[in-house]
Amino acid sequence: MAKLYFYFASMNAGKSTTLLQADFNYRERGLSTMLFTAAIDDRVGEGRIASRIGLAAAATPFDAATDLFACVGARGAVDCVLVDEAQFLTPMQVDQLARLADDAGVPVLAYGLRTDFQGELFPGSARLLAIADALIELKSVCACGRKATMNLRIDGEGKAVREGRQTEIGGNDRYVALCRRHFCEAMAG
């Protein structure tokens, strides 16, 4: 029986690297994969997944209107579906991924952030946490050495941003992964 997996972590935990390694493992064994990434995140080009260590692959971009179940069905035989930036999925799209696992027998590996810069769940992540067959936390480290679980948004001067849109694309220039204690201290000012 195929499963829906949710690999979650804070920023800079190696989610994209892990996804690209899983993709390589499937393809190395002669199996077919289909990769998706959020269209909103085009920092490395539209429809590209790239890791900070230099791995990259082409992917199908998705937005809120994309029917993931139909996209995979239109592709034909697929042995595994891998989704980067899964926090940007809609709850309906997460349900489509569950249908791929349950009805089509295709394993789905979704990778994304659990929470935003204010410590709130993303809608896609919330739905994945609710219905995924397996939840796997990837680890990142705070500057203090503890496990980083939170994503602090920072401004150009490195100061905490406490308000704003839930989604603002950026990397190390905009976000810092922190443990809960240091996140709360930064948010309190």
Instruction: Cite the annotated binding site by residue number.
Output: 9-16, 84-87, 142, 144, 179, 182
Q: Is 85 a catalytic residue?
A: yes
Long-range contacts of 162-165 (CB under 8 A, 24+ apart): 162/118, 162/187, 164/117
C-alpha angle 37/131/88, rounded to 5°? 25
Pairing of strands 60-62, 140-141: unpaired
Q: How many residues does the chain have?
A: 189
Among 85, 120, 168, 185, the active-site one is: 85
Structure tokens at 98: 């569950």
- What residue ranges in 140-184 does DSSP mark as E strands? 140-141, 147-148, 150-153, 175-178
Annotated binding site for Zn(2+): 142, 144, 179, 182
- Which residue type occupies 149? T
Backbone angles phi, psi at 44, to 5 degrees: -110, 15
**Nearest of 167, 163, 166 to residue 155 by alpha carbon:** 163
Q: Report the b/e string of 130-143 with b at 16+ CB within 10 A.
A: eebeeeeeeebebe
Catalytic positions: 85
